[in-house]
């Protein structure tokens, strides 16, 4: 438990503050198979060091298994499998992002490494169409903080199915 970082409430407040200003939104950036992604921090309840994951036989392939977070069972999804990226074993940089989209359950996302929180101004956001062609629904756009390029994810299409 010592490794848990509680971020949820604080960042939800921060996100609300930023939302009212209409100026900046906070994103949590992480890597999957070497590429940088980010999700709105308002949906992240907690960042966990991965506890032992119990695989659930015959579950969809995206689902790594279940873990226990303070007595509650949480399903863990492997975004790399979902995005058909190269997989690597869990190491000491791996983290589970505990997301809460208000779907009735919290879902864990296994990521390779958590980078940092970016407060992105509207000017630093690009639409997904900037990538050209038809982009999948879970790609919300591009974030361009100085010196970085982030694929912004919309978690709903990923986790609702």
Partner 1 sequence: MLEVPGGRGDPSFDKARDEFFSEAQELVDGLGRDLVALDQALKRGHSDPEIINDVFRGVHTLKGLAGLFGASRMSVVSHELEDVLDDLRLGRVELSSHVLDALFQAVEIYNRILAAEKGDGPDPTADAEALLVALGQVSEHRGGTGVGLIAQYDLDPGLLGVLTEYEEHRLRTNIQAGLALFRIRVRFSLATIDSALDDLKEKTKPHGEIITYLPTGSGTDIETIELEILMASRALLHVLRAAIAGPQVDIEEVRRRTAHSLAVQSSLPAAPMAAAPAPRSPVIRLDPTTDAATLGGSGPPPILGSTGLPALRAESTSARGSGPAPSATPAPPPGALTGPVGVPSRELSLRSVSQTVRVDIRKLDNLMTIVGELAIVRTAIAGLSDRVRIRPELRQLGIELQRLHRSFDRHLSQLQNGILEVRMVPLGQVFDKLARVVRQISREHDKLVKLSITGAETEIDKLIVEELSDPLMHMIRNAIDHGIEPPSEREHVGKDEVGNIVLNAFQKGNHVLIEVEDDGRGMNPEAIVASAVRKGMVSADEAKDLTAQDIFALVYMPGFTTKEVATDLSGRGVGLDVVKTNIAKLGGVVDIVSGVGIGTKMTITLPITLAIISVLLVEIAGRLFAMPLASVGEAMGFDDRQVRTLEGREVMTVRGKSLPVCRLARLFGLAATEPASTRSFVVIALMGNRSLGFVVDRLLGQQDIVVKALGRSIKSVRGFAGATELGDQRVALVLDVAALIDEVLAGGESRFMAAALA
Instruction: Please report, as ranges, the residues that interact with partner 1 according to CB under 8 A.
Output: 51-52, 54-59, 63, 66-68, 70-75, 77, 103-107, 159
Radius of gyration of the chain (CA): 15
CB of 3 to partner 1, least distance (A): 11
Nearer to partner 1, 61 or 91 (CB): 61
CB of 75 to partner 1, least distance (A): 4
Nearer to partner 1, 91 or 160 (CB): 160
Calculated CA dihedral for residues 96, 101, 107, 110, nearest 10 degrees: -30
Residue that the structure tokens 């809460």 belong to:
100
Nearer to partner 1, 49 or 119 (CB): 49
Cα gap 142→38, rounded to integer Å: 9
Could you tell me the strand order of the sheet in which 24-32 lies? Answer: 113-121, 24-32, 35-40, 150-153, 139-143, 125-127
Nearer to partner 1, 77 or 120 (CB): 77
CB of 31 to partner 1, least distance (A): 24
């Amino acid at each position: 438990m010592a490794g848990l970082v509680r971020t949820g409430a604080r960042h939800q407040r921060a996100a609300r503050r930023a939302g009212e200003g209409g100026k900046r939104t906070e994103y949590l950036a992480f890597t999957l198979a070497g590429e940088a992604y980010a999700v709105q921090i308002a949906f992240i309840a907690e960042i966990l060091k991965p506890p032992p994951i119990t695989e659930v036989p015959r579950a969809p392939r995206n689902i790594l298994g279940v873990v226990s977070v303070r007595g509650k069972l949480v399903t863990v999804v492997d975004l790399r499998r979902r995005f058909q990226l190269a997989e690597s074993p869990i190491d000491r940089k791996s983290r589970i992002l505990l997301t809460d989209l208000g779907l009735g359950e919290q879902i864990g996302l296994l990521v390779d490494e958590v980078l940092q929180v970016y407060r992105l101004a509207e000017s630093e956001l690009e639409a997904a169409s900037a990538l050209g062609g038809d982009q999948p629904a879970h790609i919300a756009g591009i974030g361009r903080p100085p010196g970085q390029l982030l694929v912004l994810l919309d978690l709903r299409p990923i986790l609702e199915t």
